[in-house]
Amino acid sequence: MRGLKRVLELPFRKLPPVGTTPHVVVHEENKWKLLRYQVPGAVVKYTEPVLLVPSLINRHYVLDLLPGKSFAEWLCLQGFDVYCIDWGTPGDEDRYLSLDTIFDRYVGRAIKKTATTAGVEKIHVLGYCLGGTMAVCHTALRPEKVLTLTALATPIVFSDDGLLSKWTNVTTLKPKAIADGLGNVPWQLLHATFKMLRPTLDLSKAVHVLDRQWDDESFEGFLALETWGNDSVSFPGACFTRYIEDLYQNDALIRGTFELSGKRIHLSDVKCPTHVVTFEHDHIVPWKGARALVDEISATDKEWLHLSGSHVGAVVSKSATTKLWPKLFKFWVDRSTPVLEADATPVRPALSE
C-alpha cells in the first residue's frame, strides 16, 4: 500500500535536486556552456583535468545526477579537476547548425578551453554515447590536446542488429525531409523513438518501484533518473540530417568515408591511450558495434572494459560506484601526473552557476 501510495503521488511530488554539484561557467557560446565543477573539500591531486562530453540530445546532468550519486562530484573528490559540456537547448534559429560546427568547432573549443583553464597542454576526454562519437571523431582529426580518450557506450558501427539501425535504414525515412519540415527535430519525436525500443520499460519500472518502495534511497534515485529521462532536447535539423544519413544509413565512420570540416576521418588516426567501455544489455548502443573501436584505432595503449548492465543504468546506478567509476578512475590515474602534496590545490566552492 505504501508503494502504491507513492506511485499515485508521483505527479505531485517535488522533483529531486538533479545536477546540483557546484560549478562555474568557464566558457559560453550560443546555447552551450563549459562547466567546471568545484566541490567543497575536493583537492586537485592530478595535473591533467577530465572533460566530460555528454550526448547532444540528452541533458548533461546524467553525469551529475544527485548529491552523493554524481559521477562528476565523485571524480572531483578523488582528486581530478572535472569539466563538462552542457549543450543547452537549441532554439528555432539553430536549425541550420551543422554537424561540423558541433562535432569539430564546439568540441574543439571545449577541449582547448579546458586545457587553458587548467594550465596544461593535454587533457583526458570522456565521451558518452553520441558524445563519445563526437570525441572519437575530433580526436582522430585533431589529437594535439587529447592525452587519453574514453569512449563510454559509444556508437562506432551503426549498421548493427539494433532497432535504431533497422529503423533508420528503411527506405521511407528521409532525414532531410524531416528537418526541412520541422526545423529542429522535436524532442518529443526523439523521446518516443527511444521509448519504442523497449515498449514495456515503463511497466517494468512501475513494478520495480513497487518492489523497492521501502528503500528511500532507491526511490529517490529512480525519480532523479526519470526526471533526466523526460528532460530531452531537440536535435538541430541540419546536424540530424548528416548524422542519420552519413552514420546510420551509410555507416561512414567505420567505412572510413565520414568527413568532418572537409577532412576524412580515419579511426586509425586515434593513437592516444584509449579506454573503450561497453555494456552487455545496452539496447541503444549494441556492445559489439561499440567494441569495434578497439580494433580500428592505432593506439598501442588501449583497454576494453565490458560490464553487465544497460546503457544508462550501468553508468548511474548504485553498482556503478563500485564497478564502473573506479575502473574509469584507475585508467586516468595510471596515465596522469600526480600533483606534489605541497602543491595540491583545494577547489573552492562556486559562488554562482
At 152-184, the pLDDT tens digits run: 999 999 988 788 888 888 888 899 999 999 999
Catalytic residue among 84, 129, 137, 239: 129
| Cα(35)–Cα(83) distance, integer angstroms | 5
Which of 323, 287, 283, 285 is closest to 304 using CA atoms? 287
3-state secondary structure 189-208: HHHHHHHHHCCCHHHHHHHH
Q: How many CA atoms lie within 13 A of 138 on its CB side?
A: 32
Ramachandran bin of 336, using left for φ above 0, alpha for ψ from -120 to 50, beta for the remaining angles: beta
**pLDDT digits over 197-230, tens only?**
777 666 566 656 655 655 566 667 777 888 888 8
Catalytic annotation present for 311: yes
Residue 19 DSSP class: T
- Amino acid code (one letter) for 74: W
Residues with Cβ within 8 Å of residue 214, at least 6 apart in sequence? 2, 3
Which of 110, 104, 88 is closest to 30 using CA atoms? 88
Mean pLDDT, residues 306-330: 94
pLDDT given at position 343 = 60
Which of 57, 56, 58, 47 is closest to 135 using CA atoms? 56
pLDDT given at position 10 = 58
* Grid-cell match 574509469, residue found: 328
Catalytic residue among 23, 27, 138, 311: 311
| CATH class, 2-346 region | alpha beta
* Grid-cell match 554515447, residue found: 129
**pLDDT digits over 263-303, tens only?**
999 999 999 999 999 999 999 999 999 999 999 999 999 99
Q: What is the mean pLDDT of the chain?
A: 89
pTM: 0.90
pLDDT given at position 214 = 52
Question: Beta strand 259-260 with 263-264: parallel, antiparallel or unpaired?
Answer: antiparallel
| Cα(219)–Cα(222) distance, integer angstroms | 5
- Phi first, then psi: what are they for 156, rounded to 5°? -120, -50
Mean pLDDT, residues 131-137: 98
4-39: b or e for each residue (b if 16 or more CB lie within 10 Å)? eeeeeeeeeeeebebbebbbbebbeeebbbbbbbbb
- Specify whether the CB–CB gap between 58 and 86 falls below 8 A: no
**Partners of residue 23 on adjacent β-strands:** 37
Which of 330, 279, 289 is closest to 309 using CA atoms? 279
C-alpha cell belonging to residue 156:
562506432
Catalytic annotation present for 104: no
> Where do the structural domains in the chain lie, given as residue ranges?
2-346
Catalytic annotation present for 282: yes
- Specify whether the CB–CB gap between 193 and 235 falls below 8 A: no
3-state secondary structure 57-118: CCCHHHHCCCCCCCHHHHHHHCCCCEEEEECCCCCHHHCCCCHHHHHHHHHHHHHHHHHHHH
pLDDT given at position 194 = 75
